[in-house]
Structure 1
Amino acid sequence: MPAYLQLQIIKQAFPNTTVLKKSWNSFEIFIKLQPTPLSDTYKLKIIYRKNLYTEIYVIDKILKLAPNRKKLPHVYDSDKQKLCLYSPSKREWKPNMRIVNTIIPWASEWLYYYELWLPEGQWYGGGHDEYPNEKLDKVLRDE
């Protein structure tokens, strides 16, 4: 799907989208998401490169860590707060898919599970085996 069409669809669904950069095959935008009515609102940066990738970052706040954890759960980069929403090697997301129907709802779901993770450090959102010692104790070893 062309970048301009992805962007147009996103802007229709999220009228307050801020466009940082755009070209014929890419864009960078800010959107705000609130996973539930009781949740915080998060400002996200979405970077789309046609036929290559889509990246998403939480940018307006430093995400807190659960008391028994040393890094964020299910991210590509804990310091940059780059969310892991799909596995590129498994082709769970493809460039012909609408970002507004995939990446954005997945990001909202990630934020929802992040908020559930905060009190005790238990990740309920699925994905890869983030904490290999989870079944043994609540304190992460060998991180």
Structure 2
Amino acid sequence: MKQKYPQFKHKQEGNTIIFEGTLQVKPEFPVYTISIIYRGSLSPIVKVLNPQLVENPPHVYKSEDNKLCLYHPKNFKWTKEKFIAKEILEWTAGWLYFYEVWLETGVWYGPEAHEDFEKLDYE
């Protein structure tokens, strides 16, 4: 994480690691502050802290305070051996891009079928 995203800092709370930092996917888009809670083999929790998302954005878990929906657990199995920087942050950057386009157009051009996230290359 430190090599690929040095702007992200972390703190450990028991077996949980909380990463917080900024992402800007295009110069004309805002700088977003992101929180990622790493919980070992449990799916990471990804939230946008700032700027606040609009009410009822697409592809979030509303019951969990707008946790970003980056993949469907039936199509991608998170394990503690995977890397937050490779999997989760790259998908988060893609989500932010599609969110900004959705704000401008009202259309979510990102993958609708969650398995399509595995096919995208955000590098």
Task: Place the TM-score, normalised by the shorter chain, in its bin.
Answer: 0.7 to 0.9
Q: Which has the higher strand share?
A: 2
List runs of 5+ in structure 1 lacking aligned partners.
Answer: 1-9, 66-70, 130-143
List runs of 5+ in structure 2 lacking aligned partners.
Answer: 115-123
Cα separation, partners in 2 of 1:79 and 1:50, compared to 1, 3 Å: closer
Percent identity, please.
Answer: 36
**Structure 1 residue runs of 4 or more that deviate by more than 4 Å after TM superposition:** none
Q: Does 1:44 align with 2:34?
A: yes
**Structure 1 counterpart of 2:119:** none
What's the offset of the Cα at 1:44? 0.4
Query: Taking structure 1 as the reference length, what is the TM-score of the superposition?
Result: 0.70
Q: Supply the distance in 2 between the matched residues of 1:78 and 1:44 (Cα, whole angstroms).
A: 19
RMSD of the alignment, in Å? 2.1
Which one of 3, 18, 24 corresponds to residue 9 of structure 2?
A: 18
8 Å Cα contact 2:40/2:80 also seen in 1: yes
Query: Taking structure 2 as the reference length, what is the TM-score of the superposition?
Result: 0.80
Which one of 45, 57, 79 corresponds to residue 47 of structure 2?
A: 57
> Which has the greater radius of gyration?
1
Count of aligned positions = 114
For the residue of structure 2 that corresponds to 1:97, the secondary structure is coil
